[in-house]
Amino acid sequence: MTVGGRAAERRAHLIGAVLDLIDGGGIPAVSMRAVATAAGVSLAQVQYYFRSKEQLIVEAFRHICRDVEERAAAVGFDGPARSVLRALIDLWLPVDERLSRDARVWLAFSAEATTRPSLMSFAAEVDEGLREAFAQILRRASESGELNPAADPVTAAAGLLAVIDGLVVQSLVLDESERAGFLGPRVEAHLDLLFPKAQRKAKRSKGT
């Protein structure tokens, strides 16, 4: 492994420790010393790679966002709009241990971004990117006749992101075993509002 590769690996290890701390106690749990302890390294090593707690938090947020982008890119956007949206939504739903951890950390960052200037503009940029990605899919659905004619793609995209955020918050107070049963029907109900044609087709195929 190259020197640069080792440095990237060590930085990633420290960021992982930051995320674990946030998952356990929110943003207030993060300090340079706490990260060193959680990562099993010296405080000097943390300070070598990151100048401050602020930089650690910002870099950890960027890491989470890149991870979501990479998983979203693997979904593929060539299928029916409803199926594509459902696959993307599933990336956020906290139905297993890993996704639950990611959701708790994401919500901690989102809450912190409302008062921390170093996160605020980046969080707004991320949300805008998500809304635009949803809007592009919904525009395509509108052009193909899949989307409810009464739905405006831009407005519907913002509403969809708000629904996801709300459902994630509500589901995290449930036992993990209950979340899939809580989330699935509610996601489908919202998609039924956006794609009534797909809903009618599904009902016909069942003979209803």
- What's the domain range around 23? 1-57
* pLDDT, tens digit, 9 for 90 and up, residues 129-161: 999 999 999 999 999 999 999 999 999 999 999
Q: Determine, yes or no, domain membership for 66.
A: no
Positive or negative, the Cα torsion across 49, 54, 18, 110? negative
Split at pLDDT 50, 70, 90, the class of 1 is low
Q: Determine, yes or no, domain membership for 140.
A: yes
Indicate which CATH number applies to the domain containing 20.
1.10.10.60
What is the C-alpha end-to-end distance of the chain, expressed in Å?
Answer: 61
Yes or no: say if 187 and 157 are a contact pair by the CB < 8 Å rule. no
Answer yes or no: do 159 and 104 share one domain.
Answer: yes
The total domain count for the chain is 2
Give how far the C-alpha of residue 191 lies from the chain's centroid of Cα atoms, to the nearest Å: 18
Q: Determine, yes or no, domain membership for 187.
A: yes
* pLDDT, tens digit, 9 for 90 and up, residues 17-72: 999 999 999 999 999 999 999 999 999 999 999 999 999 999 999 898 888 888 88
- CA 12/CA 9 separation, integer angstroms: 5
Look up the pTM and report it.
0.84
Positive or negative, the Cα torsion across 94, 99, 104, 108? negative
